[in-house]
Structure 1
Amino acid sequence: MDVQLRQLRAFVAVVDEGTFTDAAILLGVSQAAVSRSVAALETTLGTRLLDRSNQRVTLTGAGGRIVTRARRVLDEVDRLERIAQEARPELRVGYAYAALGKHTRHLMKAWAVAHPAVPLMFVQSNTPTAGLSEGIADIAVIRRTLADERFDMASVGCEARYAAVDTEHPLARRRSVRLEQLTRYTVAIDKRSGTTTPELWPATMRPQTRTVDGVDEWLTVIAGGQAIGVTAEATANQNPRPGVAYRLVTDAPRIDVRLAWWRDDPPPCLDTLLAMIRELYSAAPPGLPRQRVPMVVPPRARGRH
């Protein structure tokens, strides 16, 4: 049995419009074409669907039962067509804090030139998989251990660690800091997706911590002088905030930057994306431009000449 969609559409149009002539107008074809399609459908199904004895055609018993199912078939086909039209062949890259830092915009511009038919979209999700397991992203930027056999991972580069402090903090006047200098202060930690844990410090010198939820809260408590932070270089590049200064932590281990994707469903253009990101990381020197921090004048010194 070979039922064709044009036959079903012609049949339903005749039922809805009441005549072959009006059905032809609706479909934008000739009346003869509508007649042939309906006749072919009746031949294929082996039963009459329409009673043509009157000026206005009517459904036969079989036709009444079949037209309902024909409508369902056409509705499902219409849904499939809408999905196909609405679905853009985009590649969604998830991230929790900082995407790829200073490389993000360079990648987006280079990708748009090389792959104009596949838009590259960055989406933020403060989850351990940066939106991958939630279906928000096709591939995710990961900077912490992801022990999940559902995903494959590949390293694309590494980043230095930076301390984030209030601009009036004593450490803000330094060009760089060491881990031991941070231990006397409360450290803001995002346990869900952050890159810093107390284990960054030796067991004998671990600082007090304060749990935060996401990059905005993290920046807010730091700018307000309630805590300091330690983060990846990408965060410092992509999240400047008034009241927050970033300083290189010279003795902290670097952070491995990786991409993760579903093991059984790798995203399109994966190899190309990995190569482009690796090239960006290898070509650009690490580090941030020196930030100017206003000198805080002690109260007693003000007004003196």
Structure 2
Amino acid sequence: MPPTDLSLRDLRSFLAVVDEGTFTDAAIALRTTQASVSRHVGALEQALGVRLLQRGGRVVTLTVAGRRVVAYARRLQDEAAGLVRAAQDEGGEVRVGFAWAALGMHTATVQREWARRHPGSELTFVNSTTRFAGLTEGIAEVAVVRRDPGVSQLASAVLGHEERMAALPVEHELARRRSLRMADYAGQTVALDVATGTTTPDLWTPQQAPGSYREVRGTDEWLTAIAAGRAIGLTSQATAAQYSRTGVVFRRVRDAPTVAVHLIWWRQDPPAWLDELVAVIRETYARTA
């Protein structure tokens, strides 16, 4: 008989009779009527084409076929319960993708606050140096990005804003300053992370424009080029908080536009915990604004 003819309610009633010993006690355990239990057990027997229980007498017993079936019935019931938990469970691991820097200096604070509010649930940040930070690859349920996704299938929420920082070789003349302006980049070679970076040439006016650009892919390659003295950089303050590289120093750029930090997710499939996660992160950013 095909599995589509089997009902979980039928299995539950059958196992309740086996465990409780009578239809009456099974009905009490399931908080239903004896007639309902009898009907579901009968439906299961009809679907399987065999008698599973010996009626008569004070206690119901399993037939030979019933003894063969009971272990499978328990397994199916457990699998169904696991399916429900997988679909509805808000605990366990919450996976947030990121291409670089996660939430910067806020990362650990948000993780601790999530754990406080959701004991037994772990907020995990997973790295993927792709445009959508692991969301489209399926390794994360939501992702932190610092560019508007611009894709109709994805929804986004702004979590907060971060200042921009200059990244400089330690021996560079600008590294001696406590802070910079955008005009200080004029004539310099600037490293651009073309994969997931937030820096683009249109951030500068023609009068402030760097002399040239050096394209790199990923934060590690970006930092390596700067440490080697081949370029300077402009980045979010999250980079300065999360990355330390020998030979590289960070300085605030006073007049640079801030970077918007976005959380993105599939528009048609938002996680059940989405609103609370957005709220926790926004509260954390607001405290340091």
The answer (yes or no) to whether the contact 2:95–2:141 under 8 Å persists in 1 is: yes
Gapped regions of structure 2 (runs ≥ 5): 15-41, 52-64
Question: How many percent identity over aligned positions?
Answer: 44
Match for residue 215 of structure 1? 219
Structure 1 stretches of 4+ with a deviation exceeding 4 A read 1-6, 40-43, 45-49, 72-88
- Give, as a single letter, the amino acid of the residue that structure 1 aligns with 2:203: L
Q: Which residue of 1 aligns with 2:114?
A: 111
1:248 and 1:48 map into 2 onto residues whose CA distance is 78
Q: Provide the rounded CA distance (Å) in 2 between the counterparts of 1:90 and 1:73.
A: 30
Partner Cα distance (1:105, 1:135) in 2: 23
Whole-Å separation in 2 of the counterparts to 1:265 and 1:90: 17
| SS in structure 2 of the partner of residue 240 of structure 1 | coil
The question of whether the paired residues in 2 share the 8 Å contact of 1:91 and 1:267 is answered with no
Residue aligning to 1:26: none
> 1:120 and 1:169, CA in 2 relative to 1: closer, same or farther beyond 3 A?
same
C-alpha displacement at 1:79, in angstroms?
Answer: 7.0
For 1:192, the equivalent position in structure 2 comes to 195
| Partner SS, residue 168 of structure 2 | strand
Matches of 2:266 and 2:148, distance apart in 1 = 16
Tell me the residue number matched to 1:98: 101
Amino acid across the alignment from 2:231: A
Q: What is the alpha-carbon distance in structure 2 between the residues aligned to residue 91 and residue 153 of structure 1?
A: 17
- Kept after mapping to 1: 8 A contact 2:6/2:44: no
Structure 1 residues 76 and 225, CA, compared in 2 at 3 Å: closer, same or farther? Answer: farther
CA contact (8 A) 2:11 2:44 kept: no
Give the aligned partner of residue 181 of structure 1: 184
Gaps of 5+ in 1: 9-39, 50-58, 60-66, 286-305
Kindly provide the CA deviation profile for residues 68-88 of structure 1, in whole angstroms up to 9, marking residues without a partner as x.
xxxx99998887777788997
Equivalent residue for 2:230, pick from 216, 226, 245: 226
Distance across 2 between alignment mates of 1:78 and 1:191:
48
Larger radius of gyration: 1
Partner of 2:141: 138
Residue pair 2:188, 2:210 contacting (<8 A) in 1 also: no
What CA deviation, in whole Å up to 9, does each residue of 1:199-258 have, x standing for no partner?
111245243111111111111111111111110011111112111100111121111112
Cα distance in 1 between the residues matched to 2:215 and 2:234? 13
Partner of 1:258: 262
CA RMSD of aligned residues (A): 3.5
CA distance in 2, matches of 1:42, 1:227: 73
Could you tell me which residue of structure 2 aligns to residue 277 of structure 1?
281
Q: How does 1:277-296 map to 2 (within 5 A)?
A: 277-285=281-289
Relative to the length of structure 2, the TM-score reads: 0.71
Once the two structures are superposed, what CA deviation does each residue of 1:15-54 show, in whole Å capped at 9, x if it has no partner?
Answer: xxxxxxxxxxxxxxxxxxxxxxxxx8995257579xxxxx
- Residue 162 in structure 1 maps to residue 174 in structure 2: no
What secondary structure sits across from 2:92 in the alignment? coil
Aligned counterparts of 1:247 and 1:127: Cα–Cα separation in 2:
27
